[in-house]
Amino acid sequence: MEYVRPYSFQQVLDHLKPRVTPNVEHVENNVYSRVTVSDGTTNIFRVRDANDGRHLHVTVNSKTHDGFDSELARLRYLFAVDEDPAPAVAHLSQDSFISELVVERPWVRVPRCWDPFETSVRIIIGQQISVAAASTISGRITARLGFQVSDVSGLNRTFPSAQVLAEADLDGFGLTERRKKTIQIFSRAVAAGVIGFEPSANLDAIEKQWCALPGIGPWTAHMSAIRVLGHDDAMPSSDLGILRSVNRLTKHELSPKQIASQSKIWRPFRSWVAQHLWQAPDVVRRT
């Protein structure tokens, strides 16, 4: 896969590694791997840096020789290889607060997702808990409710569908009662077509639609806008990682409301700022 330069595979991999869902995907030896099932056939995709300054190297283990256009499109979206950072860098480098991070790391990308529903549920699970805890719970859910495939390198499950989670017993995974209800309500909304994953430029409409569901607030809506819907201008200002990074950089304790106000100057690239802040040194990770 050719990418728009500049690009850092390591930056994207560093983002993905703590967030992988056990049994579905993993990162080992600087290689990202994921299991998929297409028409009953198990496929294992692996992505690594081609080390030529232009491409990522993708391999697939499969018993079929059919085309993998859909899967490659998902990988391109997940690894954000088609996104051009230049407009964001040009705009954000004019702001004294964020300019140093942006100028020093012009290759930073905003990783997206492989599967919209899977990532949305992962974000809901991650409300108010650490990345590690959310990954553990996601792995438990997948181990019990996911579709089992032949065991290849520890990749033996696919994430459960909206239809499965909508009616599943979610006890025993470490979820709060409120989170269980939110996941089931969200899954039913997706299964019924009430919630879709079409890209939208209207962040207000996204927030209104998602926040109409019980247990989903602005943080979840903005996180999903960034990761799932590919929105470049979302800002989950209450995120702990963003709060800590901003407060460390400013040496002041700013509130989520103050950060939301400050972020207006970063439009239309607030999602890019969020990624810079999450991956700035000494920042506590949150989903």
Residue type, 76: R
pLDDT band at 284 (very low <50, low <70, confident <90, very high): very low
Contact 6, 106 (CB under 8 A): yes
Closest CA to 50 of 58, 42, 39: 58
What one-character-per-residue DSSP string does 247-277 give?
Answer: HHHHTS---HHHHHHHGGGGTT-HHHHHHHH
Contact 185, 215 (CB under 8 A): yes
State percent of the chain over pLDDT 90. 87
Query: Rounded mean pLDDT of the chain?
Result: 94
Query: Can you list the alpha helix ranges (DSSP code H) found in 26-98?
Result: 69-78, 86-92
Q: Summarize the confidence of residues 154-173 as an average pLDDT.
A: 97
Q: Summarize the confidence of residues 221-237 as an average pLDDT.
A: 98
152 located within any domain: yes
247 located within any domain: no
In whole angstroms, give the CA distance from residue 34 to residue 21. 10
Closest CA to 109 of 89, 124, 91, 137: 89
Q: What is the pLDDT of residues 7-65, one digit of tens each?
A: 999 999 999 999 999 999 999 999 999 999 988 889 999 999 999 999 999 999 998 87
Q: What is the pLDDT of residues 175-222, one digit of tens each?
A: 999 999 999 999 999 999 999 999 877 999 999 999 999 999 999 999
161 located within any domain: yes
What's the pTM value of the predicted model, to 2 decimals? 0.94
Cβ neighbour number for residue 46 with a 10 Å cutoff: 15
pLDDT band at 286 (very low <50, low <70, confident <90, very high): very low
Q: Which two tokens stand for residue 77?
A: 């979206």
Residue type, 209: Q
Query: Can you list the alpha helix ranges (DSSP code H) found in the chain?
Result: 9-16, 69-78, 86-92, 99-104, 116-125, 131-145, 162-167, 177-191, 203-211, 218-227, 240-250, 256-262, 270-278
CA separation, residue 205 to residues 168, 210, 221, 225, 233 (Å): 29, 9, 10, 11, 13
The count of structural domains within the chain is: 1
Q: At 150, which CATH number?
A: 1.10.340.30
132 located within any domain: yes
99 located within any domain: no
The DSSP code for 124 is: H
221 located within any domain: yes
267 located within any domain: no
Strand, helix or coil at 190?
helix
Q: Which two tokens stand for residue 154?
A: 């520890």
Domain that holds residue 198: 116-227
28 located within any domain: no
